[in-house]
Amino acid sequence: MLALDTALTKVVGDRTAKAMADELQLHTVRDLVRHYPSRYARRGEMTRLTDLQVGDRVTVLGQVRKVDTRPMKNRRGSITEVTVGDGEGSMRLVFFNHKHARLAVGAWGLFAGTVSSWHGQLQFNHPDCQLLDESTDADEWATAMLPIYPASKSVSSWVLQKSLKLVLDSPAAADQLLAADPVPAPVRRRHGLMALARAIWLKHHPETPDDVERADHRLKWDEALVLQVTLAARRRAASLEPGIARPRRPGGLADAVDGLLPFDLTDGQREVGEALAAEIGREQPMHRLLQGEVGSGKTVVALRAMAQVVDAGGQAALLAPTEVLAAQHARGIAGLLGPLGRAGELDGDAEGTRVTLLTGSLRTAARRAALAEVADGRAGIVVGTHALLSEGVEFADLGLVVVDEQHRFGVEQRDRLRAKGQRPPHVLVMTATPIPRTVAMTVYGDLETLTLRQLPAGRGGVSSSVVPVREKPAWLGRAWERVREEVAQGRQAYVVCPRIGDDEPAGEGPDDADGAPAGDAERRPPLAVLDVAEQLRGGPLAGLRVEVLHGRLTAEEKEARMRAFAQREVDVLVATTVIEVGVDVPNATVMVVMDADRFGVSQLHQLRGRVARGKHPGLCLLVSEAPVSSSTGVRLAQVAATTDGFELARLDLETRREGDVLGAAQSGRRSGVKLLSLLHDEELIAAARSEAAGLLETDLGLAEHPELAAAVAALNAGDRADWLERA
């Protein structure tokens, strides 16, 4: 009798079972029934085959129109050419020395192969064929939806289809599916969802597109609910592990910081600050995502929270993604605190604390001194890069971890950081890239979100334009004139390039995971900082003070050049994306992004944020060779047209694959998410989230819902849930 846990070796032959396991990771009946068709073949598709690329592996449905066998010219043997069509379109199948008695004119079949082209016509060489049941009326194929399964080298779509038929026709398996429904009956009733067994059946045997849609909706619920229960359970578990309450103390560093700020806090900063202060004051470890537009003033919010923790006797760590940014934060905070940040020094204030910078590039002596301050607790505010997480770094009493600019944190790293506190520290993750609600609910599902919507008053704002150099070559010259004009007014400029130059190893430059289109090998290499700086100095920007900044400089060099720029000793900084995040020079008002199409949407938004930081209006010019009407050109125009971070986040999500967002290339296998779309299923995910919360509230441990509990356990088994942590 077939059961869901039955090994596929009991269903199909050993060889096929092994291939299914090795090539498709299908081991049991359960895996097989969840191996969904990737599409459904219907008649009339061949006309669209022209969209196919040579090299694609596809399966098509067609009718044999012509069979022609002849001897080969230069070799022994014969060649058989079969023309198949599906109405309007047709393609050719080529077989060598093959007997295809059944490939008779009029027969319908599925043909799978790798698309090649011969004299301009698409063809399959030696395709796999599956002739359809001859007893069926040909008209039926006109409307039928034949499931096409993700196949592999030795497991074809129809082998999968046959195996599934064996399974789904077995009443025992159907009964088990009925019983194994992870979505509890009351939830199904509330949302009008069909039973799992029915959905699985329909997904594999739909008669209409509507069947597929209804089955998908129901199956997505499985995925969303299991995911959301996992996340809710994790939030709950984290909240049960006590941390240390660090309530706000009047008259301490936190009050001093407020007194020292050269500006009034915005209402948003004040509100968010109060929420954080209250949570840090509780024993339950805080877990917050602070999302705020570029320039909305997140750093100050973080500093106030850090000061509160210092006042309560703890230490706070601020983690930055780059050395440039870490150094800038340390400098900014130390500058603001003045003597209060130099406790223990001659001119320091004994009431204050110490601000300590810890990065990988510190020299041995400086590093040793920094480590000592961190370990004995003199350093209340520790700013650093990933180096903070390394073995030798010990804190006396780590009370708060602030992660700036959306660091990608692995589960091990988070645990390592947690372990550095005697009890779990409070955690604040800050990001300038607004996160679509669905992503916040899934990828960031264990972080509750706070949002800073308001920018500090008196900001000039930034306007953006695309400079399409192919179509409007003169505009580039105009762009450099604009740079000269701004510099003449006492302002400064950035020029950003995707590459450093001089054949650097890959690594810096646009981050593909961030949505930059995959590089086309045929394209010229991206423009490089060193080349562009050279050309500008000798040409359009001659006479200006042009400096370069990139990741290959030493930390001291980078630091020195950033400082020179901040002190207006440099007019134009030609840089890679090292300036992408957080760099704060309010006097810089123009940015020219070269090869803008090589950057992802959120990267461009981040970059542009560098020139929207002061009272003067900013200008961002996106220079690209992409044709205005190409999809890339359209994307750039969209970026230029809006500064609404939420709209851009959506655009970003559209231009990258879901798998990237979920943090694993094979998200389907790893996360259990096959059908759910972060882009299109916002409502469903929100509903599942609220159901998950309800289920855990009344039924902790899911005792009443063993099937749901089992599905959650399966998701959490091994490393499968890791991606959830990469927030």
What residues have CB less than 8 Å from 589, skipping those under 6 apart?
460, 486, 491, 492, 493, 611, 614, 616, 617, 618, 619
Minimum gap (Å) between residue 548 Cβ and ligand ADP = 23
CB-closest chain residue to Mg ion: 582
* Interaxial angle between packed helices 267-280 and 298-311, expressed in degrees from 0 to 180 and rounded to the nearest 10: 30
Contact 151, 157 (CB under 8 A): yes
Could you say whether residue 645 binds Mg ion (CB under 5 A)? Answer: no
In whole angstroms, the minimum distance from the beta carbon of 267 to ligand ADP comes to 9
Which of 152/308 has CB closer to ligand ADP?
308
Query: Minimum CB separation from ligand ADP for residue 320, in Å?
Result: 11
Whole-angstrom distance between the N-terminal and C-terminal Cα of the chain? 44
Q: Give Cα 621 distance to the centre of its chain.
A: 26
Q: Quote the CA–CA distance of 301 and 313 in Å, as a whole number.
A: 19
Question: Cα torsion at 597, 598, 603, 607 (round to 10°)?
Answer: -80
Instruction: Give min distance, CB of 296 to ligand ADP, in A.
Output: 4
- Considering the complex, state which of residue 294 and residue 466 has its C-beta at the smaller distance from Mg ion: 294
Smaller CB distance to ligand ADP: residue 90 or 431? Answer: 431
Nearest distance in Å: CB 584, ligand ADP: 5
Least distance to ligand ADP from the beta carbon of 47, Å? Answer: 51
Using rule CB under 5 A, residue 352 touches Mg ion:
no
- The identity of residue 645, as a single letter, is G
Dihedral sign for Cα atoms in the order 267, 268, 272, 275: positive
Q: Residue 569: which of ligand ADP, Mg ion, none does it interact with, CB under 5 to 8 A by kind?
A: none
Question: Helix, strand, or coil here: 355?
Answer: strand
Give residue for tokens 């308001």: 454
DSSP element (H, E) containing 358: strand 354-358
At closest approach, how far in Å is the CB of 577 from Mg ion? 15
Q: Does 586 bind Mg ion (CB under 5 A)?
A: no
Binding partner of residue 456 among ligand ADP, Mg ion, none, CB under 5 to 8 Å per kind?
Answer: ligand ADP
Q: By C-beta, is 566 or 675 nearer to ligand ADP?
A: 566
Q: What is the DSSP string of 468-533?
A: ETTT-HHHHHHHHHHHHHHHHTT-EEEEE-SB-SSSPPBTBS--GGGTPPPPPTTSPPPPBHHHHH
Count of CB atoms situated within 10 Å of the CB of 503: 8
Helix (H, G, I), strand (E, B) or coil at 688: helix
Binding segment for Mg ion (CB under 5 A), chosen from 176-184, 370-378, 526-534, 578-586, is 578-586
**Closer CB to Mg ion, 244 or 305, in the complex:** 305
AA identity, residue 501: G
**Nearer CB in complex with ligand ADP: 24/591:** 591
Report the residue number whose CB is nearest to ligand ADP.
297
When the beta carbons of 270 and 470 are compared against ligand ADP, the nearer one is 270
Q: Which does 292 bind (CB under 5 to 8 A by kind): ligand ADP, Mg ion, none?
A: ligand ADP
Q: Does residue 609 belong to the site contacting Mg ion (CB under 5 A)?
A: no
Q: Is the dihedral of CA 404, 407, 410, 411 positive or negative?
A: positive
Q: Based on the shown chain and the rule CB under 5 A, indicate whether residue 582 belongs to the binding site for Mg ion.
A: yes
Q: How far apart, in whole angstroms, are the C-alpha atoms of residue 447 and residue 409?
A: 13
> Looking at beta carbons only, is 455 or 675 nearer to ligand ADP?
455
Closer Cβ to Mg ion, 113 or 645, answer by number:
645
- Whether the CB-CB separation of 462 and 620 falls below 8 Å is answered with yes
Q: Which residues sit at the interface with ligand ADP, rule CB under 6 A?
A: 263-266, 269, 292, 294-300, 432, 456, 582, 584, 586, 613
- The answer to whether 399 contacts Mg ion (rule: CB under 5 A) is no
Specify the amino acid at residue 692: A
Q: CA 382, CA 384: separation in Å to the nearest integer?
A: 7
Contact partner at residue 469 from ligand ADP, Mg ion, none, CB < 5 to 8 Å by partner kind: none
Rounded least distance, CB 571 to ligand ADP, Å: 20
**Partner in contact with 297, chosen from ligand ADP, Mg ion, none, beta carbon below 5 to 8 Å by kind:** ligand ADP
CA distance 175 to 71: 55
Instruction: Provide the 8-state DSSP code for 467.
Output: E
CB of 591 to ligand ADP, least distance (A): 15
Residue 308 site contact among ligand ADP, Mg ion, none (CB < 5 to 8 Å, cut-off depends on kind): none
Q: Which amino acid is at 187?
A: V
Kindly tell me which of 159 and 452 has the beta carbon lying closer to Mg ion. Answer: 452
Question: Is the sign of the CA dihedral 265, 287, 244, 403 positive or negative?
Answer: negative
How near is the Cβ of 651 to ligand ADP at its closest, in Å? 20
DSSP-derived letter for residue 262 is: S
Contacts of 412-416 with CB under 8 Å at 24 or more apart are 413/386, 413/389, 414/725, 416/389
Identify which range of 135-143, 337-345, 581-589, 610-618 contacts Mg ion by CB under 5 A: 581-589
Minimal distance, residue 593 CB to ligand ADP, in Å? 18
Site for Mg ion in 526-565 (CB under 5 A): none
Residue 370 binds which entry of ligand ADP, Mg ion, none, CB below 5-8 Å type-dependent:
none
Nearer to ligand ADP, 56 or 258 (CB): 258
> In whole angstroms, how close is the CB of 222 to Mg ion at the nearest point?
39
**Smaller CB separation from ligand ADP, 190 or 270:** 270
| Integer CA distances (angstroms), 194 to 184, 201, 398, in order | 11, 11, 50
List of residues contacting Mg ion (CB under 5 A):
582
